[in-house]
Amino acid sequence: VSVKYVQQDQIYDLVVRMRTGNRRAVSRLITMVENENTLRIDIARYIYPYTGNSYIIGITGPPGSGKSTLTDKLAKLLRKQGKRVGIVAVDPSSPFSGGAILGDRIRMNDLALDDEVFIRSMGTRGHLGGLSESVELTVKIFDACNCDYILVETVGVGQSEVDIMKMADTTLVVLVPGYGDDIQMIKAGILEIGDILVVNKADRDGADQLASMLNMMQQYGESRENSRVRPVLLTSAYENKGIEELLNAILAHREQRQVSDYYHLNRMNHLRAEIMVMLQSELSKRLFERYHFDQELDGIISEMYERRINPYDWVESCVNIV
Ligand SMILES: Nc1nc2c(ncn2[C@@H]2O[C@H](COP(=O)(O)OP(=O)(O)O)[C@@H](O)[C@H]2O)c(=O)[nH]1
Ligand SMILES: [Mg+2]
């Protein structure tokens, strides 16, 4: 019996235990997803039939804007309504060096004791198959654990965060008054990925002004061809204020999307993008395995550079054999 089959049996067992709510199995599967690139596909294959039922809420914005605090309060409100909740917190600091991760853990501590809440923090380093894939699969694992809602928190700074937010059904962009960060975010187009704009730390000066500015920008802004007007909500996560209103706005957005079929279209588009990535990576992996390009590539590139091999013909000939 090959190692591969032993591993597949083991994964199958873990998935069965995960489905009965075994938290250790959940946690082991996520660790495998993060660390063992070769097992990802097997894990994904087993859990796929049980996924697609959770509603995914993305929460992004600059560091320190209160995303973790807001996530914690939203999760608690959902728990009050009897919902099962998954939380994936992506933090740029390493899991071993970071005060931020510890901070998240401390703040979410009481949630972590709740059997109906699944929490995973992830650093941005050391994801063999890419951060966004690790998050994607962790979300699928929580989904297969029958979570009603999955909250995904990321710091909205780079492309991988933008990619992560594409898997969300409703995305919140969290801004705070008086940072100057808001202007940066607006310039970086981060607002575009939001379905709901949250002005957090409304207990501080300048929150109303920021909210009015966001509303005005949307009415008179340059991107009017994108005529979707995003609701702007004020919260003070710290004081647990405005959270119910925020959840209502999320539910209204959900309702609106489901009525218009946009929800399904969005998910199908996401699936399309996912399988394209899978196809590309699988095909190139097979080509590399078959022809040992890694060893030969240096020589081939020299010959191309000296114009003895034409790169266009070369690519064509490789692909033709597939
Ligand atoms: N004044 C005030 N502080 C807040 C509020 N929400 C969060 N904070 C504080 O802001 C800091 C950063 O919060 P955190 O949730 O870790 O932000 P994140 O980096 O976006 O996840 C913490 O010290 C929080 O206690 C709020 O509504 N008002
Ligand atoms: Mg945080």
Q: pLDDT tens digits, residue range 2-19?
A: 666 668 888 999 999 999
What is the 244 CA–ligand 1 centroid distance (Å)? 18
Q: Would you say how long the chain is, in residues?
A: 322
- 108 Cβ below 6 A of ligand 1: no
Nearest CA to ligand 1 atom 12: 64
**What's the rounded Cα separation, in Å, for the pair 282 and 3?**
21
Q: What's the confidence (pLDDT) of residue 145?
A: 94
pLDDT at 78 exceeding the cut of 50: yes
pLDDT band at 107 (very low <50, low <70, confident <90, very high): low
What is the 174 CA–ligand 2 centroid distance (Å)? 11
By most ligand atoms within 8 Å of CB, the mutation choice from 67, 238, 240 for ligand 1 is: 238
Structure tokens at 248: 């209502």
Structure tokens at 7: 């591993």
By most ligand atoms within 8 Å of CB, the mutation choice from 59, 69, 174 for ligand 1 is: 69
pLDDT band at 245 (very low <50, low <70, confident <90, very high): very high
Higher local confidence (pLDDT), 127 or 165: 165
pLDDT band at 262 (very low <50, low <70, confident <90, very high): confident
What is the 63 CA–ligand 2 centroid distance (Å)? 7
Q: What's the confidence (pLDDT) of residue 102?
A: 44
pLDDT band at 97 (very low <50, low <70, confident <90, very high): very low
Q: What's the confidence (pLDDT) of residue 320?
A: 81
- 236 Cβ below 6 A of ligand 1: yes
Q: Residue 241's beta-bridge partner residues?
A: 236
How confident is the model over 163-181, as a mean pLDDT? 85
Cβ–Cβ under 8 Å, residues 154 and 50: no
* pTM score of the predicted model: 0.86
Q: What's the confidence (pLDDT) of residue 26?
A: 93
Q: What's the confidence (pLDDT) of residue 306?
A: 97
**Nearest bound ligand to the CA of residue 239:** 1
What is the 67 CA–ligand 2 centroid distance (Å)? 5
**What's the rounded Cα separation, in Å, for the pair 208 and 213?**
8
**Nearest bound ligand to the CA of residue 89:** 2
Q: What's the confidence (pLDDT) of residue 322?
A: 56
Q: Which of 36-50, 67-81, 154-168, 201-215 bottoms out in mean pLDDT, i.e. has the lowest?
A: 154-168
